[in-house]
Amino acid sequence: MNAQAAPTAAVLIIGDEILSGRTRDVNLNTIARFLAALGIDLMEARTVGDRQAQIVGALNALRQAYDYVLTTGGIGPTHDDITADAVGAAFGVAVAEHPEALAILERRYGPGEFNAARRRMARIPEGGSLIANPATDAPGFQIGNVFVMAGVPKIMEAMLQDVAPRLRTGAVVHARTIRVVGVGESAIAEVLRAAAEARPDLSYGSYPFGFGTDGEVGTQLVIRGRERAEVDAAEHDLSQELRYLGIDIAVT
Amino acid sequence: MNAQAAPTAAVLIIGDEILSGRTRDVNLNTIARFLAALGIDLMEARTVGDRQAQIVGALNALRQAYDYVLTTGGIGPTHDDITADAVGAAFGVAVAEHPEALAILERRYGPGEFNAARRRMARIPEGGSLIANPATDAPGFQIGNVFVMAGVPKIMEAMLQDVAPRLRTGAVVHARTIRVVGVGESAIAEVLRAAAEARPDLSYGSYPFGFGTDGEVGTQLVIRGRERAEVDAAEHDLSQELRYLGIDIAVT
């Protein structure tokens, strides 16, 4: 699927609250769909705690391996928000108050309201540029191929709008889903394997549903590829084969 | 917080459907809460696609760095289920039909129903032991410090019950939450920093809520530690300080 050299990306989720189980991350899925719409292949995601060595290690591994890294979490005003310092350490640059970020925050908070904690949110690694935050003003930042965003989902989503124009896009991956109801994966495994082998440029996935519950059971077959006509043809062929076997399907 | 050398763990989520955005992972949160209840520190999580080299690389990094690795996904009967082979490759061992797994699957499926695809689910890396699957029978497996489970949430949850007794447990981390309504993190950042510095054995986290939405805004302050009395004392002290500043709080 990478014949057209689609850009690649990784996500780095930063926050003890995800690893402790207190908070269920929703940002990864939002970013995954955002990147998919731009034709960028999300290759990997990591979740680390609020520990500088861990953030630095993960960030340096990911930014060298992929075209882009998008991070979430740890850029607020409190002592446990260490992402800016960790990113600075990863790049080997100092972290300092960014004049434009200071101006944005000064505008937001009245005189006397702009305390030390809030000033902290203007600290950006040297060489970084700001990512606008239309939700609550305090900006994220980009340095090199790394995009540093807030962890609060509504704010993170708002920041993505200023990230999008900075990314090189690829051909979008088209997907067709064949919904097979009443039989499990095993019943269609051989047909699916043969179909996948016949079209090595496409990806064929099989995702069972309903198992382990009392509800309807079945399997979603997902065909993905960057050539829409090929995906459509593959869906047509596989649907015919399944119908020929007497299996009930619905295509979406 | 690691004075008592709590066991450490990592989670490895395997599946293209998570990275494409098609599926939102819920297993990480389930496992995080499961490990927290056992006093095991979840240190890191990674999500990789259905690609052997990626699974092998991540698994070998994680199993060397932490006491336990729990994986989800890729152990079904279809061609895209490559986790057993990848785990075998990571450990440098062959993957073969496991007699006990074969017997379990033969019991589940009648004669003539036990096809090649279903047999595939009996393939386990050599030296592995089975993890019971009370939901749908097809087992997971353990090899070394790695626990390989299904990706379907209900099945994964059922498998955790057979993983629990195999894990060394630690002292459970106690958490108290102070809910601060009507003010943001910046208003309490200095008080919180001072509190955290005064009790270096505890972890103090600050999690804003409501920002970027039209709802109620505020901050949840979470104090965590393995000594319940110390956590309670820390909550008492911080609550008093916040009340002294005229800030409305609720403790849970």
**Separation CA B34–CA B164 (nearest Å):** 9
CB contact under 8 A, B80 and A54: no
Chain A segment 80-99 residues within 8 A of B by beta carbon are 80-81
| Statement to judge: residues A22 and A138 lie in one domain | yes
Residue B3 lies in a domain: no
Q: Indicate the angle between helix axes B27-37 and B153-163, nearest 10 degrees.
A: 20
Q: Find the domain containing B194 and state its range.
A: 174-251
| Nearest-neighbour CA in chain B from A203: distance (Å) | 9
Q: A57 Cβ partners below 8 Å, 6+ apart?
A: none
| Nearest-neighbour CA in chain A from B92: distance (Å) | 23
| Statement to judge: residues A121 and A227 lie in one domain | no
- Which of B142, B166, B190 is the C-terminal boundary of a domain? B166
Residue B18 lies in a domain: yes
Q: State the ipTM, two decimals.
A: 0.94
Go through B43-61 and write b for each residue having 16 or more CB atoms within 10 A of its CB, e for each that does not.
bbbbbbbbeeebbbbbbbb
CATH number, domain at A179?
3.30.70.260
pLDDT number for residue A212:
65
A205-242 pLDDT, tens digit per residue, is: 999 988 767 778 899 999 999 999 999 999 999 999 99
CATH number, domain at A104?
3.40.980.10
| Statement to judge: residues A150 and A190 lie in one domain | no
pLDDT above 80 (res B137): yes
Q: Could you say which DSSP state residue A172 is in?
A: P
Residue B2 lies in a domain: no
A179-208 pLDDT, tens digit per residue, is: 998 888 888 999 999 999 999 999 999 999
| Statement to judge: residues B118 and B150 lie in one domain | yes
| Statement to judge: residues B39 and B162 lie in one domain | yes
| Statement to judge: residues A140 and A180 lie in one domain | no
Chain A segment 212-231 residues within 8 A of B by beta carbon are 212-213, 222, 224
Q: Would you call B119 exposed, middle or buried from its count of C-beta atoms within 10 A (0-12, 13-18, 19+)?
A: middle
pLDDT number for residue B13:
98
Residues B28 and B13 sit within 8 Å (Cβ to Cβ):
yes
Q: How far is CA A40 from CA A32, A35, A168, in A?
A: 9, 5, 8
pLDDT above 60 (res B96): yes
B192-212 pLDDT, tens digit per residue, is: 999 999 999 999 999 998 876
- Which of B131, B148, B166 is the C-terminal boundary of a domain? B166
**Separation CA B74–CA B13 (nearest Å):** 9
| Statement to judge: residues A17 and A81 lie in one domain | yes
Residue A205 lies in a domain: yes
**Separation CA B33–CA A69 (nearest Å):** 27
* B205: nearest CB among A17, A184, A188: A17
| Statement to judge: residues B127 and B14 lie in one domain | yes
CATH number, domain at B231?
3.30.70.2860
Is the CB of B17 inside 8 Å of chain A's CB atoms? yes
- Which of A144, A166, A188 is the C-terminal boundary of a domain? A166
Tokens read off for A163: 């990230």
3 state DSSP class of A250: strand
- The total of structural domains in chain B comes to 2
Residues B250 and B25 sit within 8 Å (Cβ to Cβ):
no
Tokens read off for B216: 């109620």
Mean pLDDT of chain A: 94
Residue B100 lies in a domain: yes
| Nearest-neighbour CA in chain A from B29: distance (Å) | 5
Residue A55 lies in a domain: yes
Residues B125 and B63 sit within 8 Å (Cβ to Cβ):
no
**Separation CA A142–CA A163 (nearest Å):** 9
Per-residue pLDDT band for B4 (boundaries 50, 70, 90) equals low
3 state DSSP class of B215: coil
- Full DSSP string of A69-113: EEEES--SSSTT--HHHHHHHHHT--EEE-HHHHHHHHHHSPTTT
Higher-scoring residue by pLDDT: B115, A150: A150
Residue A1 lies in a domain: no
| Statement to judge: residues A182 and A133 lie in one domain | no
Is the CB of B207 inside 8 Å of chain A's CB atoms? yes
Q: What are phi and psi of B105, to 5 degrees?
A: -70, -35
| Statement to judge: residues A51 and A131 lie in one domain | yes
C-alpha B28: how far from its chain's center? 5
Laid out side by side, the sheet with A249-251 consists of A203-209, A218-225, A174-181, A249-251
Q: Would you call A188 exposed, middle or buried from its count of C-beta atoms within 10 A (0-12, 13-18, 19+)?
A: buried
Per-residue pLDDT band for A113 (boundaries 50, 70, 90) equals confident
CB contact under 8 A, B26 and A25: no
| Statement to judge: residues A157 and A183 lie in one domain | no
Residue A2 lies in a domain: no
| Statement to judge: residues A16 and A118 lie in one domain | yes
